[in-house]
């Protein structure tokens, strides 16, 4: 469904063309969950931005990206808007950057559905409640009427996920969706995202620096370093037989697992 072929990007910085992405190729089939894993600055977000055609202005891009056979670089105007509004949804790291601080979250969901899909406001209001239920929120009316600063990061990210799945897009682009959350909330939000995705049969391109987290929710993983894919495979293969030295480094820096393991030991010891 998504086919990225030899995507390269350079950015002009003070008269020099700085390479950002080099020959990135990856595929996501319908309903699949694919990981893009690498340390900070490796080019993960730029890859996602290229898919949505929201690269920085001074970027030069080459290669071919097709979504359901449509070349995204050929899309203009209404076709591009429609692709962004209905075929693909993005979930970013920081929900505060997405939600308007002076509006209750209800408005975010209603406006989203109204603007992107033309759902009448009254109907969108009902649907907003259903969506919040779907992402595991219990006190729905309270949350709908709350302003972003009144809710926790985990709650806000659930609202963003609700907005992302509202239009039942074919593809979710998730850019470190749980990185800004504390460890317990991270696990909850990740589980909800994964469950919604499976239930609705959406594909996901999941970006993270955490190889273990990717391994827990992805069918296949691409490892990215310095703008290049250096290794790819199924999670077990990367975990048990990493070939590239960089994949091994990522496997060895597994803070979440180490922390969970030691917490569990502490609990057992306490019991
Ligand atoms: N607007 C920009 N102008 C110039 N360079 C940028 C810009 N945004 C990001 N970069 C550079 O592009 C590279 C890849 O960034 P990014 O895709 O954001 O990495 P990641 O998401 O993997 O942390 C980094 O070296 C970053 O410094
Ligand atoms: Mg990033």
Distances (CA, A) of 87 to 68, 74, 172: 9, 16, 9
What pTM does this model have? 0.90
Residue nearest to atom 18 of ligand 1 (CA): 45
Per-residue pLDDT, 71:
95
Residue nearest to atom 20 of ligand 1 (CA): 41
Is there an atom of ligand 1 within 6 Å of 45 CB?
yes
Position 255 confidence tier, pLDDT thresholds 50, 70, 90: low
Residue 189 has pLDDT above 90, yes or no: yes
Residue 252 has pLDDT above 90, yes or no: no
Q: Can you list the domains of the chain with their CATH numbers?
A: 2-270 (3.40.50.300)
Ligand 1 atom with minimal separation from the 47 CA: 17
Distance CA 197, CA 194 (A): 5
CA of 210 to the centre of ligand 2 (A): 12
Residue nearest to atom 26 of ligand 1 (CA): 41
Which residue from 27, 23, 44 is spatially nearest to 210, judged by alpha carbons?
Answer: 44
Tell me the pLDDT tens digit for each residue of 8-35.
Answer: 999 999 999 999 999 999 999 999 999 9
Residue 259 has pLDDT above 60, yes or no: no
Per-residue pLDDT, 18:
96
Q: Check: CB of residue 77 under 8 Å from CB of residue 128.
A: no
DSSP output for 173-233: EEESTTTTS-HHHHHHHHHHHHHHHHHHT-EEEEEES-HHHHHHH-SEEEEEETTEEEEEE
Three-class SS state of 5: strand
Position 264 confidence tier, pLDDT thresholds 50, 70, 90: very low
Distances (CA, A) of 231 to 4, 6, 54, 128: 16, 15, 26, 40
Output the average pLDDT for the chain.
Answer: 90
Tell me the pLDDT tens digit for each residue of 229-246.
Answer: 999 999 999 988 899 998
More confident residue, 263 or 200: 200
């Amino acid at each position: 469904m998504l086919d990225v072929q030899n995507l390269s990007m350079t950015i002009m910085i003070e008269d020099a063309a700085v390479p950002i992405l080099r020959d990135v190729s990856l595929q996501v089939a319908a309903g699949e969950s694919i990981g893009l894993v690498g340390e900070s600055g490796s080019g993960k977000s730029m890859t996602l931005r290229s898919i949505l055609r929201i690269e920085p202005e001074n970027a030069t891009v080459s290669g071919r990206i097709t979504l359901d056979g449509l070349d995204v670089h050929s899309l203009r105007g209404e076709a591009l808007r429609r692709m962004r509004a209905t075929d693909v949804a993005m979930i970013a790291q920081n929900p505060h950057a997405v939600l308007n601080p002076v509006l209750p979250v209800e408005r975010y969901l209603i406006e989203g559905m109204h603007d992107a899909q033309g759902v009448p406001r009254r109907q969108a209001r009902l649907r907003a409640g259903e969506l919040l239920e779907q992402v595991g929120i219990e006190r729905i009316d309270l949350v709908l009427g709350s302003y972003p600063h009144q809710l926790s990061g985990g709650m806000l990210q659930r609202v963003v996920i609700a907005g992302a799945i509202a239009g039942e897009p074919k593809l979710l682009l998730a850019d470190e969706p749980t990185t800004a959350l504390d460890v317990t909330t991270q696990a909850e939000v990740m589980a909800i995202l994964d469950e919604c995705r499976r239930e609705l049969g959406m594909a996901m391109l999941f970006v993270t620096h955490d190889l273990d987290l990717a391994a827990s929710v992805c069918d296949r993983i691409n490892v990215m370093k310095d703008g290049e894919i250096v290794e790819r495979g199924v999670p077990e293969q990367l975990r048990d037989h990493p070939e590239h030295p960089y994949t091994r480094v990522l496997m060895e820096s597994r803070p979440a697992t180490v922390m969970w393991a030691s917490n569990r030991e502490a609990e057992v010891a306490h019991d």
